[in-house]
């Protein structure tokens, strides 16, 4: 069964850094386009970033220059390095597999990031 498991969330002070991981099972992260999305408390879904199979990366304007998406093919794991975190980055972060033009069909359970002093 295809599965994604996120980890790495936690409490961090404003200006701090955190690196999220997303381990995939039964499919290869390198052969798919992989996304990060987030959901602030009580709010809707927000797309954050993606990495295509060819390695191209894209970011929402709200995180551009602060977040970096990457993957380790040998570990079949997706990452999101988050630097210079702000209180507005507080959210549940989800990783999801994307099918070109066809949406995100496999989602992780989410990991919670709280940015607060």
Partner 1 sequence: DIEMTQSPSSLSASVGDRVTITCRASQTINSHLNWYRQKAGEAPDLLIYAASSLQNGVPSRFSGSGSGTDFTLTISGLQVEDFATYYCQQSSSVPFSFGQGTQVEIK
Residue ranges in contact with partner 1 by CB under 8 A: 35, 37, 44-47, 50, 58, 60-61, 94, 98-105, 107-110
Give bridge partners of residue 57 from the DSSP assignment.
Answer: 51
- The values of phi and psi at residue 69, to 5°, are -95, 140
CA quadruple 111, 86, 61, 91: dihedral positive or negative? Answer: positive
Nearest approach, Cβ of 107 to partner 1 (angstroms)?
4
Nearest approach, Cβ of 50 to partner 1 (angstroms)?
7
Nearest approach, Cβ of 21 to partner 1 (angstroms)?
16
Whose Cβ is closer to partner 1: residue 26's or residue 105's? 105
Whose Cβ is closer to partner 1: residue 79's or residue 94's? 94
Nearest approach, Cβ of 108 to partner 1 (angstroms)?
7
CA quadruple 21, 26, 101, 42: dihedral positive or negative? Answer: negative
Whose Cβ is closer to partner 1: residue 72's or residue 105's? 105
């Amino acid at each position: 069964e295809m599965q994604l498991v996120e980890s790495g969330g936690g409490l961090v002070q404003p200006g701090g850094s955190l690196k999220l991981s997303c381990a995939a099972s039964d499919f290869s992260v390198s052969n798919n386009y992989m996304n990060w999305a987030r959901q602030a408390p009580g709010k809707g879904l927000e797309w954050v970033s993606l990495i295509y199979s060819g390695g191209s990366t894209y970011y929402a304007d709200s995180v551009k220059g602060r977040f970096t998406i990457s993957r380790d093919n040998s570990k079949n794991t997706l990452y999101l390095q988050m630097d210079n975190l702000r209180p507005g980055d507080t959210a549940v972060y989800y990783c999801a597999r994307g099918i070109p033009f066809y949406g995100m069909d496999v989602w992780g359970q989410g990991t919670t990031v709280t940015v607060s002093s």
